[in-house]
Every structure is written in C-alpha cells, then in structure tokens.
C-alpha cells in the first residue's frame, strides 16, 4: 500500500501557493488544507467581536470558532458562508495580526493536525497538501516533502492586484504592494512560528515561472518520495 504523504507548501502572499496547492491536491487525490483561510476566519470572527486582545477572548475565539471547508471549496465560519468575505484586504491584515498570538496558533496547529489525521483515517485520500507559513517548520516538521514558494514583491503584488480586480475590489496597485510588504514583514518577524523556510525545504522562486511549470516541478519531486 502507498504511504499517506504530507506535503507542506509555505511562502509569502502572492507566491502562488494556493493555486498550486489546490491543483496539486486535485491531481494527486490529496486533501487540500488552506491554513491561511483558517486564520482569515479567525480574523473575520475577531472583527465581529470588536478586536479585543484579552487572553480569555482570544482563547475562546480559537476554541469556539467553527471553521468548515466543503469539498467544493466553500468556507464556513460559525455556520456563515464566508468564502469570498474573507478574501478582502481588511481581513488579510486582520488574519496576519491575529496569527501572532500564541493561544491562537496552538489551537490552529491542533486543528490542522486533526484534519490530516481524520483524512488519513477515513482513507479517501492518498495524502494531504497544506499551504501556509509554518507548515514545514511547526505544524508538520516531519512532512514527506516541504516546499518554500517565493517571488519578487512587485510580481506578487501584481498577481494579488489582478485577483482582487477580477473580483471587483477597487484597490490600487500601490496600496496592494504596501499592504503586502506590511503583512510579509509582520509574518516574517513575529516571535512564534514566523514565515520561514524549513531547513529541508525545497525553494522555488515563482517570479518567472508559470503555474503549470511550478506544478509539474512539484509533482516530479513528490513522485520521487516513497
Ligand atoms: O495565506 P493567506 O494570505 O491566506 O494567510 C493570511 C494570514 O494568515 C497570513 O498573513 C498570516 C496568517 N497565516 C499564518 O500565520 N500561518 C499560516 N500557516 C497561514 C496563514
């Protein structure tokens, strides 16, 4: 029997992680876990609660926020469909802000491991691909394979700009570049689980690569893992 593979894809915003991870999961029959969406749900729920930073509030938020991923890609937060609502720039920043609290991170790590454990137990998947910031370093340090996707800031901002424009959000390219640099700095410099390549991660710079090129590189690497 083939072993259940766990693939970690970490990297900053706009590096192509989500698109690649989603396609990879589909191609290989893996569970796809968008861990950023989990932090986005928390940012969304936190905003509703008035952005209080009290330990008890954060603990409860981590424990009580019910996040559900449907197989068709829809995301629910406490029973409300938030698939699109969590994709705006305001929630991006709140997700990054809330992700620096240890109580929140502990809880997310436990939930992410649990999702994978359940998928392995159910037996419908050949593996799991998780994308985020700390998957290879903290959540699954023993992952079968780890990738770190990066790219030039301006190109990443351009991709994000195009994504948002396609959804009709009116934000300028300069605002996006600014927000991206702020968020990256926040994610890279936080004390706990900062955005960092794992020592054994394979680095991929997606600046001059197309999505199919990155995808086929990742697949060829994964196929070499026993
Ligand atoms: O991947 P994303 O842009 O949807 O993530 C939103 C924010 O969530 C990101 O700025 C930092 C946080 N995050 C995190 O701290 N750890 C993860 N594994 C994933 C996301």
Is residue 36 within 6 Å of ligand 1 at its C-beta? yes
pLDDT tens column, 27-46: 999 999 999 999 999 999 99
Residue in 14, 92, 96 to alter for ligand 1 test, most ligand atoms within 8 A of Cβ: 96
pLDDT of residue 220: 97
pLDDT at 158: 94
Going from the C-alpha of 75 to that of each of 67, 80, 84, 171, 192, the distances in angstroms are 7, 8, 9, 24, 26
C-alpha 22 – ligand 1 centre gap (Å) = 16
* pLDDT number for residue 226: 81
How many whole angstroms from 133 Cα to the centroid of ligand 1?
6
Q: Which CATH architecture has domain 5-216?
A: 3-Layer(aba) Sandwich (3.40)
Task: Return the domain boundaries, the chain.
Answer: 5-216
End-to-end CA distance of the chain: 11
Instruction: Check whether 99 has a pLDDT greater than 70.
Output: yes
pLDDT confidence of 1, banded at 50, 70, 90?
Answer: low
For residue range 144-193, list pLDDT tens digits in order. 999 999 999 999 999 989 988 998 888 899 999 999 999 999 999 999 99
pLDDT at 169: 84
pLDDT at 199: 98
The fraction of the chain above a pLDDT of 70, given in percent, is 100
Mutate which of 17, 130, 132 for ligand 1 pocket (most atoms within 8 A of beta carbon): 132
How confident is the model at residue 61, as a pLDDT?
95
Q: Which of 11, 17, 35 to mutate to test the pocket of ligand 1 (most atoms within 8 A of CB)?
A: 35
CB distance 183 to ligand 1 below 6 Å: yes
Among the listed residues 168, 186, 156, the one whose alpha carbon sits nearest the alpha carbon of residue 84: 168
- In the reported structure, the alpha carbon of residue 119 is separated from the centroid of ligand 1 by a whole-number distance in angstroms of 22
Predicted confidence band of residue 84 (pLDDT cuts 50, 70, 90): very high
Query: HEC states along the chain?
Result: CCCCEEEEEECCCCCCHHHHHHHHHHHHCEEEEEHHHHHHHHHHHHHHCCCCCCHHHHHHHHHHCCEEECCCCCEEECCEECCCHHHCHHHHHHHHHHCCCHHHHHHHHHHHHHHHHHHHHHCCCCEEEEEECCHHHHHCCCCCEEEEEECCHHHHHHHHHHHHHHCCCCCCHHHHHHHHHHHHHHHHHCCCCCCCCCCCCEEEECCCCCHHHHHHHHHHHHHCCC
Is any atom of ligand 1 closer than 6 Å to the C-beta of 125? no
- Cα(40) to centroid of ligand 1, in Å? 7
User: How many angstroms is it from 79 CA to the middle of ligand 1?
Assistant: 21
95 CA distance to ligand 1 centroid (A)?
A: 6
The residue contributing the CA closest to ligand 1 atom 12 is 96
Does the structure show a pLDDT above 70 at 127? yes
């Amino acid at each position: 029997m083939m072993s259940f593979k766990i693939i970690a894809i970490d990297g900053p915003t706009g590096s192509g992680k989500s698109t690649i991870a989603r396609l990879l999961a589909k191609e290989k029959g893996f569970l796809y876990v968008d861990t950023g969406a989990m932090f986005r749900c928390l940012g969304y729920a936190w905003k509703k609660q008035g952005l209080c930073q009290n330990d008890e509030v954060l603990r409860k938020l981590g424990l009580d926020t019910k996040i559900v991923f449907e197989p068709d890609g829809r995301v629910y937060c406490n029973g409300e469909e938030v698939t699109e609502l969590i994709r705006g720039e305001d929630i991006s920043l709140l997700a990054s802000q809330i992700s620096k609290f240890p109580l929140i991170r502990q809880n997310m790590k436990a939930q992410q491991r649990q999702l994978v454990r359940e998928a392995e137990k159910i037996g419908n998947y050949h593996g799991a691909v998780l994308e985020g910031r700390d998957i290879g370093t903290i959540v699954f340090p023993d992952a079968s394979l780890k990738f770190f996707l990066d790219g030039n800031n301006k190109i990443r901002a351009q991709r994000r700009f195009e994504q948002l424009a396609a959804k009709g959000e009116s934000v300028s390219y300069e605002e996006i570049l600014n927000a991206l640099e702020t968020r990256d700095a926040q994610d890279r410099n936080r004390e706990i689980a900062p955005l960092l390549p794992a020592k054994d991660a394979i680095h991929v710079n997606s600046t001059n690569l197309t999505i199919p090129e990155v995808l086929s590189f990742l697949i060829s690497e994964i196929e070499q893992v026993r």
